[in-house]
């Protein structure tokens, strides 16, 4: 049985979906502060024959997470639960250190208490900070420039120490920019408020949607807008399944970048969204958003070699599935508003 923390959130729910598709038994632990009950309900509805237990709880409460291990025989953990907004982390670091770091410490404590020694952890490209070179490989120095990145790096360090002292085998996956949704639109990206590029561009195509705001056109990049490496969420989750196999086969603690090696600028993403939707999307150019590095692109050789993982979806694939999902979400929200 696999425990997925944050399994009602965007990326975590796609992991639960893939695990269920593989026939795994899954326990979802989520506080529902950012995750959605509807997402869990959808997963349960779509997999009536699978075992899936949802436990609402907060990692900051040790008893709540420890109880999960009392109730279920957990073999491995995939740990998504975290706050992940860079700007918010600068304004309210305490919220991030308590939730991300202290919450993870409680999770690891409960794991050790119950002799669970395998974990896949969601880390981030934000642990590298301002890039010294591109593409970024795993040897790139880790110097985060905001509290969010600091929390994720601290957890990586804790996991190293816990492996040495307690044999807690872990794989840290450093995500670049995750995009897209389940191809069947059962689940998808659903943040309130939404800060990410692709959903924000797509939301501008719906009636009542806000004009899309493009942050900064004076960067030293191909067209002046920031370049990012957009990795499809289903490809990303495949790497988690490979990481679980890797740990189950006795793999040592390790860490990998998850990206495509392909950089796309904000303007290029915008053009892809106009192409996929067939609409002229209203756009307004704004100043730079604080803390945005000009370019972030992954070197993914290590994940390819060790995890035998290859992402195969394009940016356009991600925009297509994100758009399909966004339509489902908008209809749902309209229905709920009535
Ligand atoms: N952008 C806009 N308008 C918007 C939203 C975003 O122009 O409405 C721009 C941003 O300024 C940035 C690019 O689009 O240049 C991508 O922004 P996102 O917010 O989609 O993603 P980030 O690269 O800022 O952040 C992502 C994750 C973080 C993680 C970070 C790692 O969301 O959790 O990558 O660098 F920390």
Ligand 1 centroid – CA 155 distance (Å): 22
> Predicted confidence band at 32 (pLDDT cuts at 50, 70, 90)?
very high
Please confirm, yes or no, whether 10 is among the known catalytic residues: no
pLDDT of residue 209: 86
Q: CB under 8 Å to 149, separation ≥6 — which residues?
A: 86, 124, 126, 127, 128, 129
The domain made up of 2-180+231-259 has a fold known as: Rossmann fold (3.40.50)
The H-or-E segment that residue 48 falls in is none
Q: What is the pLDDT of residues 298-325, one digit of tens each?
A: 999 999 999 999 999 999 999 999 999 9
Q: What is the pLDDT of residues 217-261, one digit of tens each?
A: 999 999 999 999 999 999 999 999 999 999 999 999 999 999 999
pLDDT greater than 90 at residue 44: yes
Ligand 1 centroid – CA 195 distance (Å): 7
pLDDT of residue 88: 95
pLDDT of residue 221: 97
Q: Which of 156, 173, 170 is nearest to 112 (CA)?
A: 170
pLDDT of residue 321: 98
> Predicted confidence band at 58 (pLDDT cuts at 50, 70, 90)?
very high
Ligand 1 pocket, 125 CB below 6 A?
yes
Beta carbons of 322 and 276 less than 8 angstroms apart: no
The H-or-E segment that residue 153 falls in is helix 147-166
Q: Ligand 1 pocket test: which of 266, 270, 291 has the largest number of ligand atoms within 8 Å of its C-beta?
A: 266
Beta carbons of 204 and 282 less than 8 angstroms apart: yes
Q: What is the pLDDT of residues 132-176, one digit of tens each?
A: 999 999 999 999 999 999 999 999 999 999 999 999 999 999 999
Percent of the chain whose predicted confidence (pLDDT) is above 70: 100
Ligand 1 pocket, 150 CB below 6 A?
no
The secondary structure of residue 53, as a DSSP letter, is: E
Query: Catalytic: which of 10, 148, 175, 323?
Result: 148
| Neighbouring-strand partners of residue 8 | none
pLDDT greater than 90 at residue 124: yes
| Neighbouring-strand partners of residue 93 | none
Ligand 1 pocket, 82 CB below 6 A?
no
Tokens of 313: 């979806």
84 CA closest ligand 1 atom index: 33
pLDDT of residue 208: 84
pLDDT of residue 291: 86
């Amino acid at each position: 049985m696999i425990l997925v923390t944050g399994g009602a959130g965007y990326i975590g729910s796609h992991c639960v979906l893939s695990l269920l598709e593989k026939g795994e038994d899954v326990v979802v632990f989520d506080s529902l502060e950012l995750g959605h009950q509807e997402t869990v309900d959808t997963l349960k509805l779509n997999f009536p024959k699978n075992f899936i237990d949802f436990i609402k709880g907060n990692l900051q409460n040790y008893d709540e997470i420890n109880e999960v291990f009392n109730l279920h025989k957990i073999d491995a953990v995939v740990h998504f639960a975290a706050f992940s907004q860079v700007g918010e982390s600068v304004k309210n670091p305490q919220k991030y250190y308590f939730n991300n770091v202290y919450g993870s410490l409680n999770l690891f404590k409960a794991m050790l208490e119950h002799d669970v020694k395998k974990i896949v952890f969601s880390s981030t490209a934000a642990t590298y900070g301002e890039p010294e070179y591109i593409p970024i490989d795993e040897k790139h120095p880790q110097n985060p420039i905001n509290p969010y990145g600091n929390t994720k790096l601290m957890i990586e360090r804790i996991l190293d120490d816990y492996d040495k002292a307690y044999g807690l085998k872990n794989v840290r996956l450093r995500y670049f920019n995750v995009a897209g949704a389940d191809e069947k639109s059962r689940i998808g990206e659903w943040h309130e408020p939404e800060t990410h590029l692709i959903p924000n561009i797509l939301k501008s195509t719906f009636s009542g949607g806000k004009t899309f705001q493009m942050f900064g056109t004076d960067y030293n990049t191909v067209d002046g807008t920031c370049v990012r490496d957009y990795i499809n969420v289903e490809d990303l989750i495949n790497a988690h399944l490979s990481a679980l196999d890797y740990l189950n086969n006795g793999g040592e603690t390790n860490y990998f970048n998850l990206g495509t090696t392909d950089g796309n600028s904000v303007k290029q993403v915008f053009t892809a969204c106009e192409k996929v939707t067939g609409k002229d999307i209203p756009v307004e150019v704004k100043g730079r958003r604080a803390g945005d590095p000009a370019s972030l692109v992954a070197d993914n050789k290590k994940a390819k070699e060790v995890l035998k993982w290859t992402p195969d979806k394009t940016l356009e694939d991600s925009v297509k599935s994100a758009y399909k999902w966004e339509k489902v979400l908008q209809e749902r929200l309209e229905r709920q508003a009535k």
